[in-house]
Structures are given as structure tokens and as C-alpha cells.
């Protein structure tokens, strides 16, 4: 029909080699970021940092990442920049080198900001690349891309146990070679991007009026998604920044054992991310969003009051359930605002970093004041914000109940 002609064409098939390479580079990027966070015990001991200062490190890194991403995405919607991908990885490489030799807390802040800038450049254009190679399976492509990042985040604590704890802060520089490999792969992906015509500046996509979500739906939907992101990332910040310290404080665990349990949680997050995107393609993203955040509530409420084994099992369930939402949220938002793939990707990846950073900073101050157990008791109620998902507009005509 004529309406179909007016819409942006989709690739004829899913390009798995490109998706796999993009996911692998996401793994490398987020592994570097995870190394930084997992090395907090090393920084805490070496520089005698408080929980509030650790929260400030997270805030600096994640807010730096979040502020730039929507602007970079908006710019590349109009002028695609395929070779910004290796540049972003190169910035992360530089941040690693600064962190490995930082003599003071101030220089640690500078290194964390450089990591944030690297992520802010990498995510919007690589998320667009995943959608271009999706062949129309947007949820699957987005979840495969994101699971690379989740796996990288999960590997970070293991590398800290194996390398950084035994050899100290300076060993972070060894991972610059990993980042260099990412630069090479991303350069090749940039060539594919350009060779297939995706780097050409295109006119604004025209969408048939009856298919375009109403302005009221767009504003309302984005507002609800923001609240759900706040719930998700504030709660996850309690794990990514403080779970190791929580386990060491509440149970007789060594730092190495606590890092292993953090890896288990992050592995559950990776599995949930991969599952959520494919399920969203089949049953609709609104249902996945509704169930994934709110579904974690009973497990979150129980977690602060149980023993070690139950804590680990509940954290696995929480990681699986909550992480299934993110790919669904990103693709739902992309469908809600058609023709703005880069801007929306940058906005939501930016929100993930920014809200996580703000959450880590607030929770760090709270932990210094009342202790980590109280932090987890308070955070347990955050998934209740998932009730707001009922107000998301129904824009998925193929998945109506």
C-alpha cells in the first residue's frame, strides 16, 4: 500500500555478523566500565574513600555519559557518523590509562569522566547500527546488542578478582589492549555502515498521520518510561555500586567471594536482557515492561531479611526480571518517536547512566548515614513504581490483547 512506501524501509534480513560484532564491542566497552566500578574496593582502600565519595565517582562517570548521549544521538540522526564508534572506544582507552596511574581522588574523577564521555559517544550510534542490521526484528537485535554490554559488566568483577586485586591499581592499564581491539573492530563496523549507504544524510522520515502517535501519547508515554527508568536504575545502583560491600558487611565473606556473587547477579542481568527483547517481539513490549519491573517487587521486599543463600537466589531473580525491561523500553520509545532512532537511543542510554549515577550518589550518602542494610530495605519499594506501566499508550497494533 502507499502508506508502507512512505515508511522507512527495513533491511531484507538480519545481519547476524554485524549484530554479533556490535554486541561484542558492547561487551568490551561495558567490561571496561565495569572494571572501574568493580575496582571500588581497591580505590576505597588506596585513597581512604567514604561511600559518599564512591557515589561521587559513579555520579561523575554516569552523568558525564548521560548528558552527552541525547545530543550526540540527535546530531547523528541528521548526520550519521560511523567512525565516531572507534573514537568513543579510544576515549574509554584513555580513561583507563588515567585511572591506572591516578595519584589522587581528583584524578580518579577525571578518569571516570573520560570513561563517561567514551560511553556517551559509543552507545547512540552503535544502538542505531544494531537496529539497521536487525532485519525488522528490533527487539531481538536490541537485546542481543545490550546483552553484550551486560556480559561485559558481569565479567568485570571476575577480572578484578583475577588481576586488579592481586596486582593493584596499575594493572588497569593492561586492559588498554582490550580497548585497542575494540577500536579495530569498530573501525570495520564503521566501514560496513558507510558501505551499505547508512551514513548518507537522509531526509526526515515521513510517517502516515494515522500511524503517528499523538503528541499527548508521546509526552505521556515518555513520562511514564522516565518514571520506570528511575525505579529500575536507582534500584540496580544499589547492586552495581554497593552489593559487594553489603555482602561483606552482612555476611562473613571475603572481598573475592563477594565479587563472585556480584558476577552471578550481573550474569542474571545479562540473561534477562536477552530474554526480554525476544519475548517483546512476540507478545508486545508493553506487557514485558509491565511485568519486568513490577514483577521484581516481592523478591526485592524479601531480600533484606534473609540469609546468604536466599540473598543470592533472590538477587538472581531480581536481575533476571528487572533487566528484561530495558530492551523493551528502548524499542517501545523508538516506535513512540519514529525517525529519531539516535536521539531516543541516546536519551534512554543516557537516562540509564544518569539515573544510575544519581542513585549511586544518593545511596552512598544514605549508606554513610544509616548503613547499607537500611539502604536495601528502602530500595525494596522502588519496583512498586512499575504500576505506572498501566498508563503506557497502546501503540503496538500487532500485539493488542
- CATH number for the domain spanning 309: value is 1.20.1250.20
**Residue at 10 is within a domain:** no
Q: What pLDDT shows up at residue 13? A: 62
CA–CA separation, 64 vs 378, rounded Å? 27
Pair 323, 248 in one domain: yes
CB atoms within 10 A of CB 250: 16
Judge if 48 and 174 occupy the same domain.
yes
Clarify whether residues 227 and 188 are in a common domain: no
Shared domain check, 368 and 246 = yes
Residues 181 and 220 in one domain: no
Residues 6 or more apart whose CB falls under 8 angstroms from that of 386 comprise: 228, 231, 290, 292, 293, 294, 295, 296, 297
Here the cell at position 122 is 559509543
296 falls within a domain: yes
| pLDDT range class, residue 9, cuts 50, 70, 90 | very low
Asked if residue 2 is part of any domain, the answer here is no
Query: Could you give the CA distance from residue 256 to residue 267 in angstroms, rounded to a whole number?
Result: 17
State whether 228 and 189 are in the same domain: no
Half-sphere exposure of residue 163: CA atoms within 13 angstroms, side-chain side: 18
pTM for this model (two decimals): 0.67
- Reply yes or no on whether the pLDDT at 6 is more than 50: no
In this prediction, residues 181-197 reach a mean pLDDT of 82
The confidence band for 183, taking pLDDT boundaries of 50, 70 and 90, is very high
Joined grid coordinates for residue 218:
508521546
What pLDDT sits at residue 14? 60
Could you report the per-residue pLDDT of 323-366, keeping only the tens digit for each? 887 777 877 887 787 777 767 777 777 777 677 778 888 888 89
Q: Rounded to whole angstroms, how far apart are CA atoms 188 and 308?
A: 46
**Total residues belonging to the chain:** 401
Dig out the grid coordinates for 382 from the structure.
522502588
Co-location of 192 and 253 in the same domain: no
Q: Which of 132, 162, 197 is the last residue of a domain?
A: 197
Please state, in angstroms and rounded to a whole number, the distance separating the CA atoms of residues 352 and 323.
12
d(CA 325, CA 82): 28
Q: What is the pLDDT of residue 378?
A: 93
Comparing 164-168, 276-280, 397-401, the range with the smallest average pLDDT is 397-401
The answer on 81 and 35 residing in a single domain is yes
Is 220 inside any structural domain? yes
* Domain enclosing residue 71, as ranges: 16-197
In the predicted structure, residue 198 carries a pLDDT above the cut 60 = no
**Does residue 298 have a pLDDT over 90?**
yes
CB contact set of 348 (below 8 Å; sequence gap of 6+)? 225, 229, 329, 330, 333
Question: Is pLDDT at 291 greater than 70 in this prediction?
Answer: yes
pLDDT of residue 1: 43
Q: Report the alpha-carbon distance of residue 52 to residue 229 in Å, rounded.
A: 23
Arithmetic mean of pLDDT, 12-28: 80
**pLDDT at residue number 7:** 41
Amino acid at each position: 500500500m502507499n502508506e508502507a512506501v512512505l515508511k522507512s524501509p527495513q533491511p531484507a534480513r538480519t545481519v547476524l555478523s554485524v549484530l554479533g560484532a556490535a554486541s561484542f564491542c558492547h561487551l568490551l566497552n561495558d567490561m571496561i566500565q565495569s572494571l572501574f566500578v568493580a575496582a571500588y574496593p581497591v580505590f576505597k582502600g588506596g585513597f581512604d574513600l567514604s561511600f559518599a565519595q564512591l557515589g561521587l565517582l559513579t555520579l561523575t562517570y554516569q552523568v558525564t555519559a548521560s548528558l552527552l548521549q541525547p545530543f550526540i544521538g540527535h546530531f547523528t540522526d541528521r548526520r550519521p557518523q560511523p567512525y565516531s564508534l572507534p573514537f568513543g572506544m579510544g576515549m574509554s582507552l584513555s580513561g583507563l590509562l588515567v585511572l591506572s596511574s591516578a595519584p589522587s581522588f581528583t584524578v580518579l574523577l577525571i578518569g571516570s569522566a573520560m570513561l563517561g564521555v567514551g560511553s556517551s559517544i559509543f552507545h547512540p550510534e552503535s544502538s542505531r547500527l544494531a537496529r539497521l542490521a536487525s532485519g525488522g526484528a528490533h527487539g531481538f537485535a536490541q537485546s542481543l546488542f545490550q546483552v553484550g554490554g551486560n556480559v561485559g559488566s558481569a565479567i568485570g568483577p571476575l577480572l578484578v578478582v583475577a588481576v586488579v586485586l592481586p596486582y593493584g591499581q596499575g594493572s588497569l592499564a593492561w586492559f588498554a589492549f582490550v580497548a585497542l581491539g575494540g577500536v579495530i573492530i569498530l573501525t570495520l563496523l564503521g566501514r560496513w555502515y558507510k558501505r551499505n549507504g547508512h551514513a548518507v544524510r537522509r531526509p526526515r522520515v515521513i510517517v502516515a498521520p494515522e500511524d503517528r502517535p499523538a503528541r499527548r501519547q508521546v509526552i505521556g508515554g515518555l513520562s511514564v518510561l522516565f518514571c520506570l527508568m528511575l525505579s529500575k536504575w536507582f534500584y540496580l545502583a544499589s547492586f552495581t555500586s554497593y552489593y559487594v560491600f553489603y555482602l561483606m558487611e552482612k555476611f562473613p565473606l571475603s572481598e573475592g567471594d563477594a565479587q563472585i556473587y556480584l558476577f552471578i547477579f550481573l550474569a542474571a542481568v545479562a540473561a534477562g536482557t536477552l530474554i526480554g527483547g525476544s519475548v517483546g517481539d512476540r507478545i508486545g513490549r508493553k506487557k514485558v515492561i509491565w511485568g519486568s519491573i513490577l514483577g521484581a517487587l516481592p523478591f526485592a521486599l524479601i531480600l533484606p531479611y534473609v540469609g546468604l543463600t536466599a540473598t543470592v537466589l533472590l538477587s538472581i531473580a531480581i536481575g533476571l526480571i528487572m533487566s528484561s525491561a530495558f530492551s523493551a523500553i528502548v524499542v517501545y520509545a523508538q516506535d513512540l518517536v519514529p525517525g529519531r532512532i539516535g536521539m531516543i537511543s541516546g536519551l534512554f542510554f543516557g537516562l540509564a547512566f544518569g539515573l544510575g549515577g544519581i542513585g549511586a550518589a544518593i545511596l552512598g550518602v544514605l549508606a554513610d548515614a544509616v548503613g547499607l542494610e537500611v539502604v536495601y530495605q528502602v530500595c525494596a519499594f522502588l519496583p512498586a513504581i512499575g504500576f505506572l506501566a498501566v498508563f503506557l499508550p497502546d501503540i503496538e497494533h500487532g500485539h493488542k490483547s
